[in-house]
Structures are given as C-alpha cells and as structure tokens.
Amino acid sequence: MSSTVISRAPNGAHLPTELPPNAGRAATGIAIVLTAQLMLILDAAVMNVALPRIGADLSFGPASLSWVLNGYTVAFGGLLLLGGRIGDVFGRRRTFWGGLAVFTLFSLIGGFATSPEMLVAARALQGVGAAMAAPSVLALLTTSAPDEAARNRALALFAAVSSGGATIGLLLGGILTDLGSWRWTMFINVPIGIAVLATVRRFVDETPRRPGRFDFVGAIAATGAAVSVVWALIGAPEHGWDSLRTIGGLLVGALLVALLAVTEARHAHPLLRPSLLRSRRRVTGLIATATMVGAQFPLFFLGVQYLEDQRGFGPVETGLAFLPVSLGIFAVSRLAPRLVARFGPARLVMVGTAGIGLSSYLLSGLDGTGSYWATVFVPFLINGVSAGLSFMPLTVLILTDVEPEHAGSASGLLQTMQQLGGSVGLAVVASVYAANAEPGSFMPGVQEAFLASVAMAAIACVAAGSLVVRRPQTVPVAQLD
C-alpha cells in the first residue's frame, strides 16, 4: 500500500500525490549509503585532532607525523580512478561493499597499532578501501532514488555530508581523544562499517555491469608517482634537498607520470581519458584545484598542533576552534551558484584562492601569544569563506561541457586531484616546517610553513586569473540548479 502526501498547487488547492511504492526502501538505502560517505569523509578529518597524542604515543617525528594523514590520502587519491573502473565492471554495490569491508577491517587493525609503520600501513590500506567504495556512492544514490525529486534531495544531502564532514570529524575526533584515546578515532569506524555492510544489500540494488579491461599499469603509475613525490618531499629536511634520496624520489615520480601519460594514450579502457585534458579551462581548473587544496590542508595539520601543543587546548576545544572554517564553507557554498552565474567561476576561484593565501599569511605571524579570538578566529573564518567561494566554481570549470559518457571519469579526476593535491601540499609544508623546527618547541618553522602555503594559494590564484584575462566564464543559473 503506497503512502499519500498532500501538496499545494499553484492556485492554493491541495492535490494528493502518491509516493512510489518503494519510496521507504529507497530512502533507507540512501541513508545507508550516505552514512558510509560520512564515515569516509570523517576519516580524513577525525585523525587531525588526535595527531599530537599519536605523535607522542608512537614516537613520530615532526615530518613523519604527516604520513598518518598522507598514508590515507595518497592511497585514496591514487586509486580513485581504478576504484571507479572496478565499480563499472563488477557492479557498484558489490565494489562499494568490498571497499567498505577493507576500510572497516584496517580501521580495526590501525586502532591496535603499536608502531608508526603499523599505523601508516593501516591508514594506507584504509585508503585502498575508500578508493573502492567512494566512487560508487554517487552512482548508488542516483540509482536508489525512486524519482527526480528524490534524486535531487539525495544529491543535496550528499553535498551537505561532504561539506559538513570535516567539522563533525574534528569534533568527534576531539571527543573520542579527550574521553578515551586516539585509538577510538579508528575503532569508531568498526560498528558503523559493520552496520552498513549488514544492511546495504537489502536496501540498495546492484547497478548494471559494463564489461571491459582494467588499466592496472595506469593505476600503479598514478599511485607510485604520488608516493614517490610525497616520500621525497617529506624526507628532504633530514636527508637534504640535493641528496640522492630526494632527487631520486622526485625523478622516479616524474618517470611514473610519463609512464601514466603513455599508458593512458594507448590503453583501450584508460583510467584517465586524454580527451579530458584537451580543454585549457579544465586543465587550469585541475591545477587550481590541486594547489588550492594543497594550500588549505596545512591549516588543519599545523593549526591542530598549534592549538594543542602551543596554546594548551584540549582535543574537544580544538575541534570547536575549527568551527569558523567549516561554517564559512557551508554558508558561502549555498550562495556559490548565484555568484557563479553573476561573476563567472574563474573570478570566484581567483578571489577565493587569494583569500586562502591571505589566511595563511595572517597565520604565519603567530607568535604563541594573544587570545584565540584576536589571532586565530579571523584567519580561520577567512579560510572557510574563501574555500566556500572556490569549491563549487572549480567543479564548474572542470565538469562543464563533459560528455555524459565521460562524466564519471571527469568526476574521478576531480576527486583525484583534490586528494593528491592535498597530499603533496601537506608534504611540502611538513617538509618546510621540519627543516626549520627545533626539538622541544613547536613555533620554530611555523612561519615558513604557512608562507609555503601562501605560495601554493598564489599558484592557484594565478591559474584562475589566466582564465579571467583570456575569457570570462559565465554559467546560467539554470545549469547550476
């Protein structure tokens, strides 16, 4: 028996509207998939607040601590395109289930880590699971929705979960670390993961398979390039920028990028379609995305340690201290479609990335004195507002005019650049910080590290500005709603 709701017609009359018979099952399926999406987003943020405790407990160094974050994001970003392809071939629900099972298992193992190597390995394997599960989320949401209205609501919820996940992750990480241990930031994934794994097959239908070959060489080259570059950058302060280790790591990364380019041009089913990179606007948008995210990631890595190590904040207080960032992103993101329609995406990205650079410049002046409200609140708020101005316009630059059959590849490319850009940016900033750090003191190196973040934001700003100078980009409101 179907449910009936009452809707108001334009003339004020009330008309009965029959909900689809499977509306309840579909809504449950959407909620289950969104729960998994929230968990994957949380995991990139929940560990931030726990970093000082993890570093002290497992004896991480100043630069190597960044691998707790980068171990996850490098594997996640490097394998996203392969994860999407596996979902096409084997079915989205099956791939989602398998990826989430891997993620949940290594969340449990990571919680029992007794050494830096064990924790980083667990985080990397979490990233492998996330790379399999995440590309299927949007496909499962759209196929689970019974009608267009439900599909739009599901996509709106997806955007809310993705944008609000960082705030929830910081707060949750703070609560778990404060009341228990940093290990609970890993263990919390286990009951959630088991609940999703136990119910998703009942409420979510499988998607059709699309037979084809796998581009394993491309996947290995993409992931290997990212690992080589990040490994070289993080170790540079200890071994020297002109050392064989550093130069060799960067050279291996460059060679793997070249291998990726050759493979994608020749493979019948490439992970990265070369045709997507023939658009100057899209390539510029990808460069701006990578450098913008790379400039913002260090805010969390350094900001958490500053508040806890230098200012004596507890984990919960630290999570609350980052609210201006996430609230700024959420508030401005709601206005972004209209702003893009009026000013064009490139102009908004230019303003937004300039704001992120200003935020990092203000934070480079921290000296460990002054109140939170006088020294940190304003830069955090500027960063959040600026990121909110940038995210959606960058998506427009990258995804506009993509053929429907290539939309999945373009979306995967966007997510890949976000993850790998953040990893490389964090590696650069951690390396600069470690090169200037002094044992037993947090503040030495902070100024130089935040100035490195300013430089990355400047690259993103110049990239967006090049599009403004050449040709303003405008998108009608109808295309964005």
pLDDT in tens, 321-352: 998 988 888 788 778 888 888 999 999 999 99
CA distances from 193 to 47, 81, 106, 161, 188 (A): 17, 23, 11, 17, 9
185 contacts 173 by C-beta, under 8 angstroms: yes
- Is 146 or 215 the better-scoring residue by pLDDT? 215
Residue with tokens 């980009």: 473
**Are both 419 and 294 inside the same structural domain?**
yes
Q: What is the mean pLDDT of residues 440-447?
A: 90
Q: Are residues 247 and 202 in the same domain?
A: no
Domain check: are 163 and 309 in the same one? no
Last residue of a domain, one of 249, 268, 287: 268
pLDDT of residue 142: 65
Q: Residue 259: which domain range?
A: 215-268
Asked whether the predicted pLDDT for residue 294 surpasses 60, the reply is: yes
Compute the average pLDDT of residues 429-456.
Answer: 91
**Do 264 and 203 belong together in one domain?**
no
Q: Is the confidence at residue 2, as pLDDT, over 50?
A: no
Q: Does one domain contain both 311 and 253?
A: no
**Residue 225 sits in the same domain as residue 294:** no
The residue among 103 and 180 whose pLDDT is bigger is: 103
Percentage of the chain modeled with pLDDT above 90: 33
- Return d(Cα 158, Cα 141) in angstroms, integer: 9
The answer on 475 and 450 residing in a single domain is yes
pLDDT digits (tens, 9 = 90+) for 373-414: 999 999 999 999 998 888 888 888 887 777 755 666 677 788
- In this prediction, residue 190 has a pLDDT band, given cuts at 50, 70 and 90, of very high
pTM of the model: 0.78
Chosen domain end from 253, 268, 283: 268
Say if residue 475's pLDDT is above 90.
no
Instruction: State the maximum Cα–Cα separation within the chain, in Å, rounded to a whole number.
Output: 77
Which pLDDT does position 162 carry in this prediction? 67
> Is there a domain that residue 6 lies in?
no
- Judgement on whether residues 432 and 373 belong to the same structural domain of the protein: yes
Q: Indicate which CATH number applies to the domain containing 302.
A: 1.20.1250.20
Per-residue pLDDT at 16: 42
Residue 10 makes CB contacts below 8 A (sequence gap 6+) with none
Q: Which of 103, 96, 193 has its CA nearest to residue 140? A: 96
Total domains in the chain come to 3
Higher pLDDT, 18 or 320: 320
Same domain as 236, residue 93: no
- pLDDT higher than threshold 60 for residue 4: no
pLDDT band at 104 (very low <50, low <70, confident <90, very high): very high
327 and 244 belong to one structural domain: no
**With 70 as the cut, is the pLDDT of residue 278 above it?**
yes
What pLDDT score does 406 carry?
63
**What value, to the nearest 5°, has the Cα angle with vertex 206 and ends 202 and 210?**
170
Q: What is the mean pLDDT of the chain?
A: 83
Residue 284: predicted pLDDT: 94
pLDDT of 319: 86
For residue 4, the cross-strand partners are: 18
pLDDT higher than threshold 50 for residue 480: no
- As a whole number of angstroms, the distance between CA 355 and CA 349 comes to 10
181 lies in a domain? yes
Q: What is the mean pLDDT of residues 14-39?
A: 69
Same domain (yes/no): 197, 297: no
